[in-house]
Amino acid sequence: MGNTSVIYTESRKAIGIALENHDRRVREDEVEFIIKRLLKDYDSSYTLTVDKSRHVIEIHVDK
């Protein structure tokens, strides 16, 4: 992931993943990689929240 930080949190009800890069925009392939790797066991849909600059992306999954 290079300079992109990934923060993963999980509770009984939800999963939250944040991707952050201070130097450049987070790339689409990085988002897809994280979804495939960290959410492979969850068939449910997810919510993607992107800031205006695309330096921070949040993925939320209800269990």
> For the whole model, what pTM was predicted?
0.90
Place of tokens 């205006």: 52
Beta bridge partners of 18: 7, 58
pLDDT in tens, 34-55: 999 999 887 778 999 999 999 9
Distances (CA, A) of 43 to 8, 54, 56, 62, 63: 18, 25, 24, 11, 10
**For the purposes of burial, counting CB atoms within 10 Å of the CB of 26, is it exposed (0-12), middle (13-18) or buried (19 or more)?**
buried
Segment 21-38, tens digit of pLDDT: 999 999 999 999 999 999
